[in-house]
Structure 1
Amino acid sequence: MARYLIIRLSAMGDVAMLIPLLYAVAHANEQHEFILLTQPFFTELLLDAPDNVEGMAIDIRREEKSLLGLLRYARRLRHEHFDAVLDLHDVLRTKVLRSILRLTGVPTQHLCKPRQERRRLIADSPTKDLTPLTPMWQLYQQVFRSAGLIVPEAIPPVAIHPTLLKTFERLHPKIAQSTSGRIRLGIAPFASTRAKTYAPDLMQEVLRLIEETQLFELFLFGSRGREQAQIEQWAADRPHVYSVAGQLDLSDELILIASLRAMISMDSANMHLASMVGTRVFSIWCCTHPAAGFLGIGQRFEDCLQPEDAPRRPCSIFGDNKHCHTGPDFACSRALSPERILQAVLSLTDSAGS
């Protein structure tokens, strides 16, 4: 039996993308143990994990933020007696950790990012080459294979244990199951940056159009604070629209997402949370592009909703606000019509969308 340290510190979407693959690898290599090193909050993503998978927290926002704190943490890792380290992040912090462990004789493997290919994608040119890059989850697979592990080709979503479902239904009876016979649809209208976020006034119009069909029961997702206040305002006085922003812990949010027919999401963590539990996503891409390799596992390219009149996209791989080719007004966040989003969602009413 070997103990593998798997390192992925951020972001939430990247950690969520890793979870189904980690579970599949763990099931295929039951004789080994896998410890996922990530930020404390992200360990909640280990929903109903296999017996040979556990989480280990590193607080890079506080104790381990400084180099000294990171070195102290590396000393702790040395006493865990890992047999191998798989760095699936390859940033400065993870390079420090894996280098210290390698000096003590622990073999290491790390992610190889396609940096040159990414620069090609974000070139400021209307005739750029949009050949898709290798998906990030497949790059993760390569690292597991390089460590000599059995890596399944097919990556199933994380299944919700019946016990967890029953507990959720008892704690949240109002949202656990539909009583209206309508299609359960989630909407996550925000992303981590403005450049990745579909214009809020247009999203309000999407919400109105979907609600007017009287076919859907809508659940609005967002974080506490500003997002929660705006979402609660959108849901007010709408009997089939529920705000769950800031009201559920991460595991309960995943259980709710798993109960939905589909979600509307930005290129954001919510797309990967839905992918993790096998829920279809109609993803909205503003300054970013699915060709960069960050489409959720199991999602369909045809469900990616993108502006048709923004030839210089993508402006950014990760959605930062500094490199938008359309300027500070982020025109690509307004270049997709609400009617196109409605048309995509209405495919759920066809037998093919079931």
Structure 2
Amino acid sequence: MRCLVIRMSSLGDVSLATAVLEPLREHFPSIDVIWLTRPPYGALLRDDPRISEVISWDRRRLFPTALLRVEGFDLVLDLHRIPRTWLISALLPARRRLGYPKARRHRKALVRGRTDQPVLHTVERYLEALAPLGVRAWGTPRVFVSGEAWERAETLLAGVSRPFVAVAPGARWPTKRWTSEGFARVIEELRARGIGAVLVGDERDRDFAGEVRTSCKVPSLVGRTDLPTLAGVLSMASVLLGNDSGPVHLANAVGTPAVAIFGPTHPKLGFAPLKGRALTVDLPCSPCSLHGERPCPRGDRVCIRGITTEDVLEALKELIP
């Protein structure tokens, strides 16, 4: 059986989508899985023995032509479901095409205050896509760390005290970030308790990570790791502390618990860490956006500023061995 899995982005979604692989392989032992994604995430999937081939598609190209050399698919599993992936699925010769329930209306109703019922976790909705195949087993997100990535991570962590907490202070939208002062105070308190810390993130997080470092001395790997090496770093951490962002789900996928701070978004939207704690201030206006892209309607960001250093330290204490 030849199956194409489509999940183009982003870091958290790609990490969570790997949950479908184990149930698929258990149900179809001889399945041949090809995964279509964007270039940054292809490197994260290439060491997964459950995937036969990873095709990285640059969106500037009209169509992922590498798929044309494949002689048809028994199944196209679209775990992204945007117009571009619909078109790819429709153009490829396939016996069956399935997609996952995005719960758009439910999520929008939460944002607009029309319901307070949580959306099924994203992993559960990915797995629901397999139900028409008779696959009803639970699957856990898993990202494999290669020996080379592990060695690179070990080298970068040479000066970091153990045990340590990986701290990912960034997020795509500034409104989703906890305060730089809060992160700094937590890092200083961890150090006083004999626990190390290291900042992680990509190039876009450099400025905010710099703000954190103005208030405390902490080693930083922000902008210094590719995704496989970041996975290696997170696999060695005792806990990941971050906002509602991709590193939380990557940490879980390599077996590390996470403390995730939610502000304008909310765990009810389906992205709480599967292993760890989600911290949120339950306000009548929360969530106020699907992804955290809108400015705070109150103007004071109390949803994120209301989470205290003590709240974060208590959550970390529960998870650090």
TM-score, normalising length: structure 2: 0.88
For 2:163 and 2:155, locate their aligned partners in 1 and report how far apart those are by CA, in whole Å: 22
Letter aligned with residue 182 of structure 2: L
Say if 1:27 and 1:50, in contact at 8 Å, map to a contact too: no
Of 307, 321, 325 in structure 1, the residue corresponding to residue 281 of structure 2 is 307
For 1:170 and 1:116, locate their aligned partners in 2 and report how far apart those are by CA, in whole Å: 44
| SS class of match (1:201) | helix
Residue by residue, what CA displacement relative to the aligned partner does 1:57-95 show, whole Å, maximum 9, x if unpaired? 1111x22xxxxx23xx3x653441222211111111111
Deviation at 1:156, TM superposition (A): 6.2
Say if 1:23 and 1:49, in contact at 8 Å, map to a contact too: no
Deviation at 1:165, TM superposition (A): 6.9
1:76–1:262 distance in 2 versus 1, CA, 3 Å: closer
1:84–1:289 distance in 2 versus 1, CA, 3 Å: same
Residue by residue, what CA displacement relative to the aligned partner does 1:180-222 show, whole Å, maximum 9, x if unpaired? 5x431111011110121112233333333333x3321101112
Residue by residue, what CA displacement relative to the aligned partner does 1:149-184 show, whole Å, maximum 9, x if unpaired? 6453142644546x4476346644615xx6x5x431
Of 140, 145, 156 in structure 2, the residue corresponding to residue 155 of structure 1 is 140
For 2:81 and 2:116, locate their aligned partners in 1 and report how far apart those are by CA, in whole Å: 25
1:237–1:202 distance in 2 versus 1, CA, 3 Å: closer
Deviation at 1:53, TM superposition (A): 3.2
For 2:8 and 2:150, locate their aligned partners in 1 and report how far apart those are by CA, in whole Å: 31
1:216–1:136 distance in 2 versus 1, CA, 3 Å: same
Deviation at 1:27, TM superposition (A): 5.5
Say if 1:32 and 1:52, in contact at 8 Å, map to a contact too: no
Of 194, 197, 205 in structure 2, the residue corresponding to residue 218 of structure 1 is 197
Deviation at 1:25, TM superposition (A): 2.9
Deviation at 1:311, TM superposition (A): 2.5
For 1:229 and 1:336, locate their aligned partners in 2 and report how far apart those are by CA, in whole Å: 22
1:232–1:174 distance in 2 versus 1, CA, 3 Å: farther
Q: Which residue of 2 aligns with 1:333?
A: 304
Residue by residue, what CA displacement relative to the aligned partner does 1:269-297 show, whole Å, maximum 9, x if unpaired? 0111101111110110000111111123x
Say if 1:29 and 1:149, in contact at 8 Å, map to a contact too: no
Letter aligned with residue 307 of structure 1: V
Q: Which residue of 2 aligns with 1:144?
A: 130
Letter aligned with residue 100 of structure 1: L
Alignment of 1:176-187 (within 5 A): 180=161, 182-187=162-167
| SS class of match (1:242) | coil
Q: Which residue of 2 aligns with 1:66?
A: none
Say if 1:19 and 1:45, in contact at 8 Å, map to a contact too: no
Matched, 1:295 2:294: no
TM-score, normalising length: structure 1: 0.80
Q: Which residue of 2 aligns with 1:39?
A: 38
Q: Which residue of 2 aligns with 1:77?
A: 67
1:234–1:121 distance in 2 versus 1, CA, 3 Å: closer
1:232–1:316 distance in 2 versus 1, CA, 3 Å: closer
Alpha-carbon RMSD across the aligned residues, in angstroms, is 2.7
For 1:116 and 1:170, locate their aligned partners in 2 and report how far apart those are by CA, in whole Å: 44
Alignment of 1:205-354 (within 5 A): 205-211=185-191, 213-224=192-203, 227-231=205-209, 234-235=212-213, 241-296=218-273, 298-300=274-276, 303-308=277-282, 310-321=283-294, 324-327=296-299, 329-348=300-319, 353-354=320-321
Q: Which residue of 1 aligns with 2:119?
A: 133
| SS class of match (1:34) | strand
Q: State, as a whole percentage, how many aligned pairs show the same letter.
A: 26
Q: Which residue of 2 aligns with 1:99?
A: 90
Say if 2:55 and 2:66, in contact at 8 Å, map to a contact too: no
Which has the higher mean CA deviation after the structures are superposed, 152-161 or 33-42? Answer: 152-161
For 1:245 and 1:199, locate their aligned partners in 2 and report how far apart those are by CA, in whole Å: 17
1:166–1:110 distance in 2 versus 1, CA, 3 Å: closer
Gaps (5+ residues) in structure 1? 64-68
Residue by residue, what CA displacement relative to the aligned partner does 1:107-156 show, whole Å, maximum 9, x if unpaired? 211122212211221124xxx6432211111111121232x264531426
Say if 2:265 and 2:289, in contact at 8 Å, map to a contact too: yes
Gaps (5+ residues) in structure 2? none
Letter aligned with residue 275 of structure 2: Q
Say if 2:101 and 2:126, in contact at 8 Å, map to a contact too: no
Number of positions where the alignment pairs a residue of Structure 1 with one of Structure 2: 320
Residue by residue, what CA displacement relative to the aligned partner does 1:236-281 show, whole Å, maximum 9, x if unpaired? 7967x32111112211110110111101111100111101111110
Letter aligned with residue 95 of structure 1: W
For 1:53 and 1:171, locate their aligned partners in 2 and report how far apart those are by CA, in whole Å: 30
Q: Which residue of 2 aligns with 1:17?
A: 16
